[in-house]
Structure 1
Amino acid sequence: MTEMARAVRLHAGVPVYQYRTDPATPPVSVLRFGPHSHPGYDQRHIHDFPVLVYVERAAPPSPGAPGAPDLPGDPVADGDAFVVAQGAVVHPRAVAALTAGTGLFFDPTALGGDERAAWPSWRAHPLLLPFLHQIPGGLLRVRVPPARRPRWAATIGAIETELADQQDGYRQAALAHLTLLLVDVARLATDVVGDLRRSNEPLLAEVFEVIERRFTEPLSLREVADSIGMTPGHLTTVVRRRTGRTVVGWITERRLTEARRLLTGTDLPVGEIARRVGLPDAGYFARVFRAGHAVTPREYRAGFTSTEA
């Protein structure tokens, strides 16, 4: 996973991987799984971004091989697609059962022209609602009908070609192909999406609304908690359990999302960008940005400019 993702923290001892957002990393990546192919999948891990796995042809089960208890339902079959829930712990036995599949990893904020509207991405973007499921094991299975399977294989192949050739507009083209697959997933997972729309999510909605209104100013966990009438400790526990991230983590993520937009879409000085995202100390802003992206704000802007040139 080192090409497109990196471990950024531990959650209950389990490494959490974040999709890289540096200019050199494409917004979507494709991994062809195979035995011993990708270090990092041989341990329990969490994706802090959406993952879709498609099994074009399932590997025949080995006689006497142990099952994969983290997989829902029947054994893996041709045409199965698995939606990996953001924040869910993925067990290596589940991954082992998907070694015949292809993984699509992507940055959810890239799905759309306005990053502000894409945050939190799975709440604002209807195509990402299936990634909110809470199925034990973190895997939602959708079965791709036989008539659609050639299109899925061709679309994944087209994404790989765009990423390999990197011709002008390849990032947009790769995302366009990915969007077609996500439309299919949303249609195949209609029941799950309906359940999510009807689910009791008012607390998270309130938290995100407070952060959205106030991230451009100094904002603490206690202030968010006070705004919705909860203690900071209880709010932290609930939000971490539901999303895999703390309230402070979400505040930081929203600020970094806006910072990336301003760095790449404006000529504003870094100090002014720091002020606009609620971190008026430019030095502290630079440290927070570097911790999240492994580069400074100026390096990020320069890298994006050189990539687009």
Structure 2
Amino acid sequence: MDLLTVEPGCIARYEGAMPSEPRQPSWEPGSSARRDFEQGRMPIWAGRLHVHPRAGRATSVHAYAVVMLVTRGESKMRHAGDLVVRAGDVHLIPPGDAHGAGASNAEGWGVAFHPDVLGEDGGAGSRLGPLLRVRKGCHPVLRPTLPQRRRLARWMRLLAAEVARNEPGHEEAARSLLRLVLIELERMTAAQGGTSEPPSLGLSRKALTYIETHCLEPLSLAQVAKALGRSSAHVAGVVRQETGRTVGEWILECRMSEARRRLRGTDERVDIIAERVGYADVTHFIRQFRRVHGVTPAAWRRKATAGGP
């Protein structure tokens, strides 16, 4: 039985037999696995993760979610304020949340995933609950009990091994293990309350939540601003400042995420998918998809369903 223990000095280690595992896909910038993941062809990444500090006060923003269980060291992070993540902690980064690392020697298990991989069955939104609560103001660092750490580490290690495989059924197995990770996080956060945050950061997060909910409908900056009770200029400025992207770019990302889900998981024609993700003109959809992914929807579908991770 695998055990995760935190020893004096904040070092986490495993006890018990470790089965042989396939080589994990690299998360290093420029690696083929990271490129495939960021373009949506690889919907889930999992593996060992090392936190590298970025120069100056640089921050990162991405359209996918990240969960990290720190097993060794600590990291000074900027995420809804300054915080320290230590061995045994779990750091949750929702899509669109600005974050950055300062001094760091942290390492651990990491999972990154595109929310569309969860599909529509069983309430994908509810499984994202812990991450969505961070978006609403809950603290992004969880401090699980030892049994919770053990379970989470096991699910993440098995998920990393599954993602690295290219065997029949590996994608469904990976999705099932991801659900177990999210269920464990839900249990950790069940009794956690919210925290206050700067009004501008709250506005940015509210804008992203509204966009995610309504992106498949006709949607514009003016509509987002009206729903939030602010001017278009104010919402545009805050979202751009906090995330590095425009409201229009986030609308496009949410639509492309749903398009990828349908391309990967259904046999719907491209023109049908275009209509369902908010495009009346299939040519415009194909042009937008190609601008984001570098290939047409049909070519992306062929590569994504060709048997790779």
TM-score grouping bracket, smaller chain normalisation: 0.5 to 0.7
SS of the equivalent of 1:68 reads: strand
1:129 to 99, 118, 132: 132
SS of alignment partner, residue 214 of structure 1: coil
In the alignment, is the contact (CA less than 8 A) between 1:53 and 1:81 conserved in 2? Answer: yes
- Contact 1:130–1:192 under 8 Å retained in 2: no
Alignment of structure 1 residues 251-290 onto 2, 5 Å: 251-264=251-264, 267-290=267-290
- 2:141 and 2:213 map into 1 onto residues whose CA distance is 34
Contact 1:45/1:89 (CA < 8 Å) preserved in 2? yes
**Structure 1 counterpart of 2:217, one-letter code:** R
CA distance 1:239–1:125, shift in 2 (3 Å) = same
Change beyond 3 A, Cα 1:89–1:270 = closer
Q: Deviations over 1:82-120 (max 9, x none)?
A: 1124333332325x242x2222111112124459x75xx
Which of residues 82, 92, 109 is equivalent to 2:91? 82
Letter in 1 for 2:299: E
- For the 8 Å contact 1:206–1:228, the answer to whether it is kept is no
Q: Distance in 2 between matches of 1:34 and 1:204?
A: 31
8 Å contact 1:83–1:130 — kept in the other structure? no
User: How far has the Cα of 1:258 moved from its partner?
Assistant: 3.9
Instruction: List per-residue Cα deviations over 1:39-97 (Å, max 9, x = no partner).
Output: x96664223221111122x23x8xxxxx83648666623x2211124333332325x24
8 Å Cα contact 2:66-2:92 kept in structure 1: yes
* Unmatched 5+ stretches in structure 1: 8-17, 62-66
Q: What RMSD in Å do the two structures reach over aligned CA positions? A: 4.1
* 1:21 equivalent in alignment to 2:31: no
What is residue 53 of structure 1 aligned with on the other side?
68
Contact 1:210–1:224, Cα closer than 8 Å, also in 2: no
Aligned length: 270
- 2: distance between equivalents of 1:45 and 1:113? 28
Matching of residues 3-42 of structure 1 within 5 Å: 3-5=32-34, 19-22=38-41, 25=42, 27-34=43-50
Partners of 1:69 and 1:264 in 2: how far apart?
Answer: 35
Instruction: Report the residue type matching 1:105 in the other structure.
Output: A
8 Å CA contact retained: 1:289, 1:297: yes
Q: Is this contact kept in 2: 1:127–1:183, CA < 8 A?
A: no
1:268 deviates by 4.7
Q: Which amino acid aligns with 1:168?
A: P
Taking the aligned partners of 1:267 and 1:85, their CA distance within structure 2 comes to 29
Give the TM-score of the pair, scaled to structure 2: 0.67
Corresponding residue number in structure 1 for 2:114 = 107
